[in-house]
Homo-oligomer: A and B are copies of this chain.
Amino acid sequence: MDTYKILKIKKSVYESNAQEAQRLRGKLKEDGVFLLNLMSSPGSGKTATLVRTIAALKNELRIGVLEADIDSDVDARTVLNAGAKAIQLHTGGMCHLDAGMTGQGLVGLGTEGLDLVFLENVGNLICTASFDTGAVKNAMILSVPEGDDKPLKYPHMFEVVEVVLVNKIDAISFFDFDLEVFRQRVARLNPKAKIIPISAKTGDGIGDWTDWIRYEVRRWKSREEE
């Protein structure tokens, strides 16, 4: 597992993304693979967070990563070095992934024997939120320097996720970010969303995040019915 492929993603051929997403989740259930879609703005720390997460879980779970990017390869190398199986997906100019594109990525990666696959989605708070990728769960990262007003401006993203990681929490004293106000703004859009402050730099909060992942992976693999 010391190399990675680069796959150019093609536009999906499926008429209904909703149907294709359901089909993909069915296949993942059969195979016992938990696919977690991770979304954020550019530069919020998705890759650094994944590196921390892989380090914390790699002795218990076999992990793969779909690295979606417009056209660079820097992230696949990084997560590979962290100890995950990885594939780099080049989306061309496309600003999001749908279920068909995600399916291409899973085939390219090869999911046999994997327990957990992260889809590191394209850095975009708008388009990515509008497409069901077929993932079992959706999570997002909002970093402290981006500001606590983002739920007001990108509401749909906050509505579709189950977890909001608030990254770069170690920088909170430097920026004008009110965690309590942020919590209230998210709760107004999505009362069930779990908010976890983390620092991918220091490791703070990563334990809470990996506890959630462990619990969800176990549930996904054990339940007869979803």
Contacts and interface: CB of A to CB of B under 8 A. Distances in A.
Interface stretch (A18-26, A152-160, A213-221): A152-160
Contacts of A70: 126, 153-156
A147 B43 contact: yes
Interface residues of A, number: 33
Contacts of A145: 43, 143, 145-146, 168, 171
Interface stretch (A7-15, A57-65, A98-106, A117-125): A117-125
Copies of this protein in the complex: 2
A72 interface: yes
Contacts of A147: 43
Nearest to A71: B155
Contact of A42 (B41, B130, B156, B174): B41
B154 A123 contact: yes
A69 interface: yes
A41 B156 contact: no
Interface of A: 41-44, 69-72, 74, 93, 95, 122-127, 130, 143, 145-147, 149-150, 152-156, 168, 171, 174-175
Given A41-B42, A123-B154, 8 more contacts: A41-B43, A42-B146, A42-B150, A43-B147, A72-B149, A93-B130, A123-B125, A145-B145
26 contacts: A41-B41, A41-B42, A41-B43, A41-B123, A42-B125, A42-B150, A42-B153, A42-B154, A43-B143, A43-B147, A43-B150, A69-B153, A70-B156, A72-B152, A72-B155, A74-B149, A93-B126, A95-B95, A122-B126, A123-B125, A123-B126, A143-B145, A145-B168, A145-B171, A171-B171, A171-B174
